[in-house]
Amino acid sequence: MSSPVVLITGATRGIGAAAAVELARRGAEVAIVGRDADRVRETAEAARAAGGAAAVHEHVADLARADEVRRLAAEVLETHPRLDVLANNAGAMFTARHVTPDGHEQTLALNHLAPFLLTDLLRERLAADGGGRVVTTASDAASAGELDFDDLEFERRSFKPMRVYGTTKLMNILFTRELAKRAAGDGITATCFHPGVVRTGFGKNDGLLYRAGLTIVGPFLRSPDKGARSLVWLALDPAAAELSGVYVVDQKVREPTPAGRDDALAEGLWERSAALTGVTA
């Protein structure tokens, strides 16, 4: 039996890097995605040294940009005849409002629109050979999210980093819920998970106060290896193969927030996201 092929974004630090190494150690063929070529190479080398016999591939892309997401998808389709798992792990929290070249608020662009678009572009490849798995890194921070279809970009509301981040994590949960319904006929499963509060580079993108705070509490946070366990389990474990539309914490299915279980919100977000990314709803 051939090795499963896993594409993982945000794979150059934190739980992404830990998951890439563990996936490779378990024999998966891993395609690592990051925005910094040197970090991608370092993670790939660590994955190759983990002891698995399958190939490790390197892809460089800034997923906050739609053109880069599309370029990555084209590169993946050309490079990988098979794709068994897409792990949408890339994400960040920003302490101030930034706008991407596409005109979108950066947290929304990276944490939600990028995985939405990338999944759509790779969906046909994932559906081949009986269907694949889409695993998205969400968070219990979704409980702080406030989804407002009239202000998804936080142009009118005050920009509070945790609320903005939590809103995109709520979007991850709703995206998973709706994808599970829409892709079921293709044999694709969709799951998401909370990794815990992990000791990583997350939240250090800008803002001295946040960087200092995270440095202080760092020793008390969960290790990246532990944070990556649910991702690896959802990607490879036979016990997770039939799960779809669910939210997982520590390899166990958990109920998300009431908003995360709202089918009308999930459908509305899908339609709005399709319009923002230019894909067919």
Structure tokens at 276: 């923002």
Q: Kindly list the domain boundaries of the chain, sorted by start residue.
A: 5-277
Interatomic CA distance for residues 124 and 47, integer angstroms: 27
**The pLDDT value given to residue 213:** 44
**The pLDDT value given to residue 201:** 54
This prediction has a pTM of: 0.92
- 113 with 137: CB under 8 angstroms? no
Identify the active-site residue in 94, 154, 165, 247: 165
* Longest Cα separation, the chain: 53
> What tens-digit pLDDT sequence spans the chain (281 residues)?
689 999 999 999 999 999 999 999 999 999 999 999 999 999 999 999 998 889 999 999 999 999 999 999 999 999 999 999 999 999 999 999 999 999 999 999 999 999 999 999 999 999 997 889 999 999 999 999 999 999 999 999 999 999 999 999 999 999 999 999 999 999 999 999 999 876 555 444 555 544 444 444 445 466 999 999 999 999 999 999 999 999 999 999 999 999 999 999 999 999 999 999 999 87
Q: Is the dihedral of CA 240, 175, 144, 33 positive or negative?
A: positive
**The pLDDT value given to residue 216:** 41
Give me the CATH topology for the region 5-277. Answer: Rossmann fold (3.40.50)
DSSP code for 259: G
β-pairing, 133-137 vs 29-34, is: unpaired
**The pLDDT value given to residue 187:** 96
The predicted-structure confidence for 144-186, as pLDDT tens digits, reads as follows: 999 999 999 999 999 999 999 999 999 999 999 999 999 999 9
SS3 content of the chain, % helix, strand, coil (to 5): 50, 15, 35
Residue 247 is among the residues annotated as catalytic for this protein: no
Interatomic CA distance for residues 80 and 59, integer angstroms: 12
**The pLDDT value given to residue 197:** 79
- Neighbouring CB atoms inside 10 A of 215's CB total 10
